[in-house]
Structure 1
Amino acid sequence: MSILKRMSVRMRVYGFLVLITMLATGGYFLNRRFNSSQANANPSPEKAKPGDENIVPVELMTATQGQISSFLTATANLRALREVDVASQTEGIVQRVLVEEGHYVKEGQVLCQLDDTQLRIRLQSAQQRLAQAKLQWEKSRIRQDKAAVQIKNTQDELARYQKLYEQKLVSEREVAQLKYRLDELQHDERVSSSEERELTHRVEELEAEIEQVTLEISRTQVKAPFSGYVIQRMVELGRTMRNLEPLFKLGDFSPLYADVHLSEGEARQVRPGQPATINLGIDESVQTSGRVARISPVVDQSTGTVKITVELSRTGGAFKPGAFVRVGIQTDTRANTVLIPKRAVVEEDGEKFVYVASGDTAKRTKVTLGYETDGKVEVRQGLSVGQQVVVAGQGALKEGSKIKVVQTRNQSDVNVRAAL
């Protein structure tokens, strides 16, 4: 019985193995047929030629002749020529506000008006009192003139009577009466003269008062001390302003300045009038020109730097007070020099070199560089105008590597600036 069982088990195992073999054989032939159809639809690519795997694709650019300048660079924030607080010069309630922030105003233009009602009442009253005082002064002057004539006539008559008295033609009493009359006239003249002096003083006081009130009225009109822009408005309609309280902040933006700080050694290369370029910090494609306006005569002891003031030739647009800028002060210019893209230069072990295309071969060439800027660099030694240098793909190159040029471009002769 056990023998029969063992035979039955063996038969089942053999049958299972035969089935697996048949399935595997069928799958193999099906796979070959499928691969054959795929091969017919997509033929295999052509095999690479021997040696092609060592050819490096590169991009070339031609060394050109041009002009390049050296620049000392620093950063700064632009500032206005001047910024001042325009303050009230008298007390009063704000009656009108005539300008807003950002408005351009001219020198002498009224910015706001304070209430001047009470001052004008004072002015009118003082003018009326002055008119009365002048009238009284005129009357006193007339009395003075009349008294002077009477005194002169009486003096002449007294002199004549004294001669007649000596001749016994008039009495002593008549002479005494004339003397008494003369004394009265002279007394009245002294009184009138005193009144005239008082009236003159009164007129002067009233004229001074009118002048003061007129000045205070003029101060109720807050005017721009110079032409510029309203930076800030600090006044509100109806507010009571105190004397010397700031009302506006005014700025003169013509021109703008950038104060940069250079080391003592760098500052020795700078002279007033040297040209400069100013690039906007947030967008360095926005550029304007300028010049060195002033050089501080002292070295800042805390920083060891010298302040250089650069004046911008153009204002407005993006160039505003407070804007962050990069300033380059031109210190030297070289013309007819060899220029290549900075990205062509490879540095290794402290040496700088480029790969020069010679036919289909890259030649490693050591170079001595000069000024550099804006993606370009000056080659002082090692390269000539017209030679083609590798600007892309040099990472896979070595001396004598085979190259395949995928793109060649020429640089235009342009004036560029350089940063030391």
Structure 2
Amino acid sequence: MKPILLLILLSVTLAGCGQGGGGKGGRQGPPPVPITLLTLEKGELAERVSLLGESRSQADAAIKTQTEGVVSQLLVDVGDEIVAGQDVAYLDGLEQRLALAEADARLAEARSRLSELQNGTRSQVLQQRRAETRASHALQREAETDLKAVRDLAPQLIKQVEGDFQAARAAEKNAQDEYKRTQELVKQGALSARELVRVESAWEQAKGELLRAERALAVQKVSNERDEAGAVAALERARAESAKSEAVLDESLEGPRDEVVAAQAEIVAALEAARERAALEYQRASVKAPSSGTVRQRMAAVGERLDIGDTLFQVAGEDVALYFDAPESVHGKVETGQTVLLESEGSTEPIPAKVVAVARAVDPNSRRQSFRVEAPEGALLPGEAVRGTLLIPLKGDYLTVHRDALVDKGDRWVVYTVDGENKAVEQKVDYLLGVDETVAISSPKLKAGESVVGRGAPGLYPGATVMLPQASPTPGSTP
């Protein structure tokens, strides 16, 4: 302020001296206006938009079981750093071990059979096959004998039970007739009522015996049918086993057909695939991390039984991305590659980052446009709240200068240049953007490197006399 005051006092003093030198009737114009000069620059200016955002891990993952079992050991816990492929837990794997052992046994048997088909049958095996065939024939004959015995015995059993039934029915009929005769005699007074009660009781007992005999006959018939069906089924199994033994013996004697060898090879291939699946299931009892990161939550405990797809751990990934929502005022201006200055509670100075993706749609509720920023590695933690300043570069052909040079005339914006006679020349400009103390303007009559009036510009008008500073023009700021 002191240099300005000195310039003002100096101008007043010079004005007074001019009036005294003019004599009586002498007339003097307004005193020169002290000014500073600024240099127009071909600079770059960016609009600054303050935003609030959130940091999120791009590789958050849930470590899930791929097989079932009981948790036998947890190798990591909350806060531990893990890498992709690292073992984080063990399941007991009992069921998987048993399934793998069974698959190995089946595969070994099928391979042995295939080798036998391909290489021929040894004499010891032929002897065994002949013995198996003779045994199957003997079993078939035994089954035929059993069936004949069952069929021969069935009528005898039925006849015996049916005899009991006929006897019970005759007894019931006699008891009924006796009851009717006694009933008539009681009515005639020849017998007492007590005798009728005794006879009726005997009749009821005969009815019960008849019912039991009927049931016994029905049970015997069902039993005979079941025994015959069992004997028939046993005979069919014996015949099938006998036929199978004969076929195996014939094949061993004659050699297998090509289609038999091919079919056995397919069986071996299928069992090999089944064995690989069983081995994979067993390996999955060792739970591995799918990606690197930090364990942020444990979801299971030792001894707990888990099914396929149950979650063991929640992991926060190492790659952190930031998400911001741009206000409606800058829709269409946010582009990939633009700079965002980041600030968080833990940062001491702004961290520059780049916009890597912009949503091509606006949220219908908030009227905001989302975009993603890639943060420098290790700069931020997932879930951390972040303040950001988005820098939107001003596009086009324009000049930059200190805000002091720009004058608002109400209906237009102007700056002033100085001609050779130290007179102010008004230049109409378009005001494009202002950031802090710098403004962007455009005018077809101005170019970079020209000087314009800085301080003192608001008090000028076209043709006003100015007092030039002694120092050279100052680019970008007013001294």
TM-score, normalising length: structure 1: 0.52
Superposed CA offset, 1:287-310 (max 9, x none): 23345x4542x55433455x4645
One-letter identity of the residue aligned with 1:86:
I
Structure 2 match to 1:214: 279
Q: Where in structure 2 are the equivalents of 1:6-85 lying within 5 Å?
A: 51=12, 60=36, 62-68=38-44, 73=49, 75=51, 76-85=53-62
| Aligned: 1:302 with 2:278 | no
**SS of alignment partner, residue 279 of structure 2:** helix
Structure 2 match to 1:325: 388
**Preserved contact between residue 48 and residue 435 of structure 2 (Cα < 8 Å):** no
| Aligned: 1:242 with 2:306 | yes
Q: Where in structure 2 are the equivalents of 1:115-154 lying within 5 Å?
A: 115-116=91-92, 118-119=94-95, 121-122=97-98, 125-126=101-102, 129-130=105-106, 133-134=109-110, 137=113, 142=121
Deviation at 1:342, TM superposition (A): 3.2
**Preserved contact between residue 72 and residue 331 of structure 1 (Cα < 8 Å):** no
Range with bigger deviation, 64-73 or 372-381: 64-73
**SS of alignment partner, residue 67 of structure 1:** coil
Q: Percent identity?
A: 14
Q: Where in structure 2 are the equivalents of 1:124-273 lying within 5 Å?
A: 125-126=101-102, 129-130=105-106, 133-134=109-110, 137=113, 142=121, 188-190=245-247, 210-226=275-291, 228-230=292-294, 232-234=296-298, 238=302, 240=304, 242-243=306-307, 244-251=310-317, 253=319, 256=321, 258=323, 260-261=325-326, 263=328, 266-267=331-332
Superposed CA offset, 1:243-288 (max 9, x none): 322412243627x364544649943x677xx531122144774323
Q: Distance in 1 between matches of 2:278 and 2:100?
A: 10
Q: Distance in 2 between matches of 1:233 and 1:406?
A: 70
- Structure number with higher strand proportion: 1
Q: Distance in 1 between matches of 2:95 and 2:46?
A: 65
One-letter identity of the residue aligned with 1:216:
E
Q: Distance in 1 between matches of 2:267 and 2:277?
A: 15
Q: Distance in 1 between matches of 2:33 and 2:82?
A: 60
Q: Distance in 1 between matches of 2:276 and 2:423?
A: 91
**SS of alignment partner, residue 68 of structure 1:** coil
Gaps of 5+ in 2: 1-8, 16-30, 131-240, 252-259
Q: Distance in 1 between matches of 2:440 and 2:432?
A: 5
- Select the residue among 376, 389, 392 that pairs with 1:315: 376
| Aligned: 1:377 with 2:439 | yes
CA 1:126–1:386: 2 relative to 1, 3 Å: same
One-letter identity of the residue aligned with 2:102:
A
**SS of alignment partner, residue 332 of structure 1:** coil
| Aligned: 1:342 with 2:408 | no
Aligned residues: 315
Deviation at 1:215, TM superposition (A): 2.7
| CA RMSD after TM alignment | 5.7
**SS of alignment partner, residue 94 of structure 2:** helix
Gaps of 5+ in 1: 1-47, 151-183, 414-420
TM-score, normalising length: structure 2: 0.47
CA 1:83–1:331: 2 relative to 1, 3 Å: farther
**SS of alignment partner, residue 225 of structure 1:** coil
One-letter identity of the residue aligned with 1:92:
V
**SS of alignment partner, residue 215 of structure 1:** helix
**SS of alignment partner, residue 377 of structure 2:** coil
**Preserved contact between residue 56 and residue 402 of structure 1 (Cα < 8 Å):** yes
**Preserved contact between residue 415 and residue 452 of structure 2 (Cα < 8 Å):** no
Q: Distance in 2 between matches of 1:239 and 1:394?
A: 82
CA 1:278–1:127: 2 relative to 1, 3 Å: same
CA 1:344–1:370: 2 relative to 1, 3 Å: same
**Preserved contact between residue 58 and residue 404 of structure 1 (Cα < 8 Å):** yes
**SS of alignment partner, residue 370 of structure 1:** strand
**Preserved contact between residue 44 and residue 393 of structure 2 (Cα < 8 Å):** no
Structure 1 match to 2:73: 95
CA 1:235–1:187: 2 relative to 1, 3 Å: closer
CA 1:308–1:192: 2 relative to 1, 3 Å: farther
One-letter identity of the residue aligned with 2:92:
D
Structure of higher CA gyration radius: 2
Structure 2 match to 1:110: 86
Q: Distance in 2 between matches of 1:50 and 1:65?
A: 31
One-letter identity of the residue aligned with 2:280:
L
Deviation at 1:332, TM superposition (A): 2.4
CA 1:348–1:80: 2 relative to 1, 3 Å: farther
| Aligned: 1:280 with 2:342 | yes
CA 1:398–1:72: 2 relative to 1, 3 Å: closer
Superposed CA offset, 1:49-99 (max 9, x none): 8937x9999995622322335669573445444433232334432524258
Q: Distance in 1 between matches of 2:34 and 2:75?
A: 68
| Aligned: 1:411 with 2:387 | no
Q: Distance in 2 between matches of 1:92 and 1:362?
A: 93
Deviation at 1:112, TM superposition (A): 0.3
Q: Distance in 2 between matches of 1:213 and 1:301?
A: 52
